[in-house]
Structure 1
Amino acid sequence: MRLWIALHLPRLPLEVFTPSWSTDTGTDVGTVVLEQERVLVASPYAQDAGVRTGMRRGGVLMLLPDARIHERAPAQEADARQAVALALLQYTPQVAEGEESTLLMDVGASLRLFGGIRALCRRVRANVRALGFTASLACAPTARGAWLLARANAGRAVRMEALLRRLDRLAVLLMPPARPYAAWFDGIGCHTLGDLRRLPRPGLQRRCGRELLDLLDAAYGLVPELYEWIAPPETFRARLELYDRIDDADLLLAGAQCLLLQLTGWLCARQLAVERITLQLEHERGRVARPPTSVEVVLAEPTWRDEHLVRLLKERLGRLTLEAPVIGLALEALQVRPMAPPNASLFPEPGGSEEDRMRMLELLAARLGPENVLQPLPLADYRPEQANVWVPVQQKVSARARNAQLPPDVLSLPRPTWLLARPIALLMRDHRPFYGSPLRMASNPERIEAGWWDGPETRDYFIAEGLDHTLYWVYRERVGMGEDGPKWFLHGLFG
């Protein structure tokens, strides 16, 4: 089944919308948008004060001297529509731009994936709201039908029969080709699309042109529709201008989430997963200009979902102290890779998947610092301190290194459960090593001679036992014994 979702976005500059993450006090003094010195749209507060569509600037200032007046900005409107379209690409690759600030989505193949049309519409509304906009949403089996329903804010019509009934009740002037003939339609009593369909087609075509009939037939599903889909860019970089100077890093999270929504749509459309992103915090310009503050997030496992990235950025921004107010944000995907196919196992792994565990480790690294969350990197080396290496969990470890094993003859020998980060030099008493008590050698020596390429090590390892029967792993250096005899070191403890 083919189904379309249409989103009608208000033709307003971005400043009209005050998102929840703005530092604005929330006091509405009346907001008005002008086009050619006449009111195009007004906020509810301005309407309550008497401001009406078509009123001139002087009339607005007479009613609301402190009103915030904006000129319509088509360039900003286009950028806003592009940002919304990029975020919607996570639901379908078939997103097109329609007339009069409308976006069209062919979601017929996405319904089962997102739990049906109602769940999908809720997610689309939530994403648009998170981007700072309130859109009129409608869905229908035809793109033009969904477009007309969205322009009239007439809701959903999933089946063709319901769409025909809804369209017949819509005003005929919703169709742009009909507006030049508004007086004629009013004179003959043609007010709805149902009335328009009952008119003789040859005479209607001669008077109003073929464009009106083509749009009407497309809305009612009588002719095929062709659209040019929005293509995502080759690389991702999105920017957001803030509405005020932000001094608290925690307040930047909602703005960063707007950029992450666009990143999610771009990744899904390009079938990519991101491994490293950077968030640039832009500061003042001019004579007091400062370089942007960079917040970089490196992922141990690539992802294409924004929920995990939001959690990581929240931890990073919570630990950040701003040296100057922030006036803009810019998000860039620095490292991406092809999206891995989903796990096709019949029974999920108990305790969560490997991806869930990696996300938990990444969250800990963002909260505690990457230097405090480590993973083992075993090396095939006879020297214990080289064979047991720990690296940050975000560092990529190859499969060969992860599966590295010591030779079988070494694996068969006893090894301590606790290896010290650095060997401790032992005291000598009565020609015996001393660590809390004299140590007695309880095993034959294990000789290790390795590292000739980066500093040779020649040692004899023993299992030593103290008076309290604690077992230690000690070694004796065989090179450079000196006049005081061999040097002994403690290197590990047995459990």
Structure 2
Amino acid sequence: MRLWIGLCLPQLPLEVFSPHWSADAGSVVLEQERVLAASPAARAAGVQIGMRRGGVLMLEPDARLHERDPAREAEALNAVALALLQYTPLVTLAEEATLLMDIGASLRLFGGIRRLCSRVRANLRALGFTGHLSCAPTARGAWLLARRRAGRALKMASLVRRLDRLPASTPPPARPFAGWFEGIGCFTLGDMRRLPRPGLQRRCGRPLLDLLDAAYGALPELFEWIEPPETFHARLELFDRIEHADALLTGAHRLVLQLTGWLCARQLAVERITLNLAHERGRVARAPTPIEIALAEPTWRDEHLVRLLKERLAKTVLDAPVIGLGLQALQLQAMAPPSESLFPEPGGTEEDRNRVFELLVARLGADNVLQAAPQADYRPELANAWVPVQQKIRASARAAQMPPDVQSLPRPVWLLAKPIALLMRDHRPFYGSPLKMASNPERIEAGWWSESQTRDYFIAEGQDHALYWVYRERIVGSGEDAEPRWFLHGLFG
């Protein structure tokens, strides 16, 4: 089924170019010295759309005046389009700040039209915009419904009924002839369709007829789809100087949503991102503060990235106020296909576990969340190293194993970081109580290339029946009468 979403952003200039826009501030957006938009406080003071700058200052002397910036407006619209690429690769930019999305192939993936529209609205709010959303079987039909806030029409019959009720001035090609349509009693698109086509074409031109035919499904529609850039680097200029890092999360979320759309469009997953905090420029210029997030597993989901950024920002202390944000995707790889296993893994999937590790790293620091890295060494204290959980361990290191005869020997659950020298009482090692040897000795002799070690390991039992891993150090080159030294190296569970 072919279905389109039309997303109209009528208040785009207000929200992008009015940094201090709020209900209790008299803010006005000007275009060519005339009012384009006004905040509620300004309208309450008598400011009206189309009023000149002098009239605004007469009614509201303290009003904040902002000039509309078409370049930044286009940049913001492109940011919204980039974020929406996570739902479909078929997104196009239409007239009058409207985006069109072909979501027919995405309905099942996102749980139906209602849930998909709800997600689009939520993303739009997170990006800092408001808009009017519509659905229709044709792209031009969705555009017309969005411009007039006429709701959704999922079937062609309901679309025809909704379109017929729209004002005749809704299509842009019809607006120059609004007076003529009103004079002949043509007030709706339904009235316009009943007019003789040859006369309507001579009077208003072919573009109007083509738009109507496309909206009503009588003419095929062709569009140029938005192409995501080859690399991702998004910026956001903040409305004020931010002095606390946790207040940057909203802006970071906006950038992450754009990253999510870019990753889905490119079929990529990200392994490492950097959020750059831009500080003052000029004489007191400072280099940006980077916040790097390394992921245990590649991802393209915004929820997980935002959660990690929230943890890192909560721990960050700013050395200087922040005036802008920048987000870069530094390490990428192809998006992994979905799991083909029939039954889910008990206790969650590997991806779920990796997300827990990433959250712990963001909260506790990389040096406090470690993983085991096996080493090909007979000496117990060197047979394993602890490295950050995000560090990639080579496959050869993971496969490092001792010979089968060594693997079958018992090893304690708890190996002490440093062996403890034991006292000797009655020629027996003592640790809380005299220790009795409960196994045959296991000799470990290694390290001749650096620091040679020769030890005889035993499993020892105390009077409380606790088991210990102890060794007797053999001193090479000493006389036969030299007293051996005993050490505690591990404890069995």
Same fold by TM-score greater than 0.5: yes
Partner of 1:53, secondary structure, is: coil
Q: Which residue of 2 aligns with 1:423?
A: 419
Separation in 1, partners of 2:262, 2:151 = 28
What amino acid is the match of 1:136? H
Counterpart of 2:472? Answer: 476
1:152-171 → structure 2 map (5 Å cutoff): 152-171=148-167
Give, in whole Å, the separation in 2 of the partners of 1:181 and 1:170. 16
SS in 1 for 2:264: helix
Per the alignment, residue 217 of structure 2 pairs with: 221
Deviates more, 1:342-351 or 1:207-216: 342-351
1:152 to 1:25, Cα distance in 2 relative to 1, 3 A: closer
Amino acid at match of 1:301: E
Per-residue CA distance 1:294-351 (angstroms, 9 max, x = gap)? 1111111111101111111111111111111111111111111111111233332232
Structure 1 stretches of 5 or more lacking a match? 19-23
The partner residue of 2:453 within 438, 453, 457 is 457
Which whole-Å CA distance do the structure 2 matches of 1:487 and 1:311 have between them?
53
- Could you tell which deviates more after superposition, 9-18 or 441-450? 9-18
User: 1:21 maps to which residue?
Assistant: none
Separation of aligned partners in 2, 1:25 and 1:468:
74
TM-score, scaled relative to structure 2: 0.94
Give 3-state SS (helix, strand or coil) of 1:299's partner.
strand
Question: Are 1:96 and 1:229, in contact at CA under 8 Å, matched by a contact in 2?
Answer: yes
Q: State which drifts further: 249-258 or 425-434.
A: 425-434
Match of residue 111 from structure 1: 107
Is the CA contact 1:205–1:213 (under 8 Å) kept in the aligned structure 2? yes
Correspondence for 2:233: 237
Query: Is residue 273–residue 337 contact of structure 1 (8 Å, CA) maintained in 2?
Result: yes
Among 407, 411, 423, the alignment partner of 1:411 is 407
Change (3 A) 1:453 1:98: farther
Matched, 1:264 2:290: no
Question: What's 2:4 paired with?
Answer: 4
The amino acid across from 1:182 in the alignment is A
Structure 2 segments unaligned to the other structure (5+ residues): none
Partner SS state of residue 13, structure 2: coil
Match of 2:314 among 318, 325, 331: 318
Farther off after superposition, 207-216 or 9-18: 9-18
User: 1:490 aligns to what?
Assistant: 488
Match of 2:290 in 1: 294
Task: Report the residue type matching 1:74 in the other structure.
Answer: P
Moved over 6 A (4+): none
Query: In 2, are the aligned partners of 1:13 and 1:73 still within 8 Å (CA)?
Result: no
Cα distance in 1 between the residues matched to 2:452 and 2:184: 102
Q: For each residue in 1:82-105, what CA deviation from the matched residue of structure 2 results, as whole angstroms up to 9, or x when unmatched? A: 110111011001111101111110
Q: State which of 143, 147, 156 in structure 1 corresponds to 2:143.
A: 147
The equivalent position to 2:280 in structure 1, one of 279, 284, 297, is 284
1:229 alignment partner, SS class: coil
Match 1:62 to one of 54, 58, 61: 58
Distance (whole Å) between structure 1 residues aligned to residue 122 and residue 440 of structure 2 = 70
Amino acid at match of 1:374: L
Q: CA-atom RMSD, angstroms?
A: 2.1
Matches of 1:395 and 1:486 in 2, distance apart? 41
Q: Distance in 2 between matches of 1:479 and 1:327?
A: 66
CA contact (8 A) 2:233 2:328 kept: yes
Range with bigger deviation, 422-431 or 262-271: 422-431
- Of the three residues 160, 165, 173, the one matched with 1:177 is 173
The answer to whether the Cα contact below 8 Å between 2:15 and 2:21 also exists between their aligned partners in 1 is no
Separation (CA, whole Å) in 2 of partners of 1:290 and 1:485 = 65
Q: Does 1:248 align with 2:244?
A: yes
Q: Please list the CA deviations of residues 207-237 of structure 1 after superposition, one character each: whole Å capped at 9, or x if unmatched.
A: 2221111111111111111111111111111
Number of equivalenced pairs: 490
Q: Distance in 2 between matches of 1:285 and 1:220?
A: 54
Q: AA paired with 2:82?
A: L
1:100/1:25 CA distance change after superposition, 3 Å: closer
C-alpha distance in 2 between matches for 1:164 and 1:398: 62
Tell whether the 8 Å contact from 1:380 to 1:407 is kept in structure 2 after alignment.
Answer: no
Name the counterpart of 1:305.
301
Find the counterpart in structure 2 of residue 40 from structure 1: 36
Look up the SS of the partner of 1:279 in the other structure.
strand
The SS at the match of 1:6 is strand
Moved more, 214-223 or 430-439: 430-439
C-alpha separation in 2, matches of 1:28 and 1:481: 88
Q: Is the partner of 1:174 in helix, strand or coil? A: coil
| Contact in 2 for aligned 1:461/1:476 (Cα 8 Å) | yes
Partner secondary structure for residue 374 of structure 2: coil
Q: How does 1:326-341 map to 2 (within 5 A)?
A: 326-341=322-337
Query: Normalization by structure 1: what TM-score?
Result: 0.93
Which runs of structure 2 are paired with 1:321-400 in the superposition (5 Å)?
Answer: 321-400=317-396
User: What is the alpha-carbon distance in structure 2 between the residues aligned to residue 369 and residue 436 of structure 1?
Assistant: 37
User: How big is the shift at 1:31?
Assistant: 2.1
Do the aligned residues in 2 keep the contact of 1:139 with 1:158 (CA within 8 Å)?
Answer: yes
CA distance in 2, matches of 1:371, 1:210: 69
Matches within 5 A, 1:96-107: 96-107=92-103
Determine helix, strand or coil for the equivalent of 1:137. Answer: strand
Letter in 2 for 1:5: I
Q: Distance in 1 between matches of 2:484 and 2:476?
A: 8
Partners in 2 of 1:392 and 1:469 — Cα distance? 36
Among 191, 195, 201, which residue is 1:195 paired with? 191
Task: Tell me the CA shift for residue 469 of structure 1.
Answer: 4.1
Pair 1:65–1:479, CA change in 2 (3 A): same
Residue type matched to 1:4 in 2?
W
Distance 2:295 2:66 in 1: 42
Which amino acid counterpart does residue 104 of structure 1 have in structure 2? L
% same residue: 74
The one-letter code sitting in structure 2 at the alignment partner of 1:81 is: L
Aligned pairs for 1:22-41 within 5 A: 26=22, 28-41=24-37
Please identify, of 120-129 and 432-441, the stretch whose mean Cα deviation from structure 2 is larger: 432-441
Letter in 2 for 1:415: R
State the Cα deviation string for residues 371-404 of structure 1 (Å, max 9, x = none): 2222222234322122232222212234554454
Q: Note if contact 1:481-1:487 (Cα within 8 Å) is conserved in structure 2.
A: no
**Structure 1 residues 340-375: Cα deviation after superposition (integer angstroms, max 9, x where no partner):** 111233332232222111111211221122222222
The separation in 2 between residues aligned to 1:49 and 1:304, in whole angstroms, is 47
Q: Which position in structure 1 is the counterpart of 2:134?
A: 138
Q: Residue 117 of structure 2 aligns to a residue in which SS?
A: helix
Is the 1:14–1:76 contact (alpha carbons within 8 Å) kept by the matching residues of 2? no
Q: 2 CA distance for matches of 1:382 and 1:481?
A: 22
Distance 1:87 1:455 in 2: 58
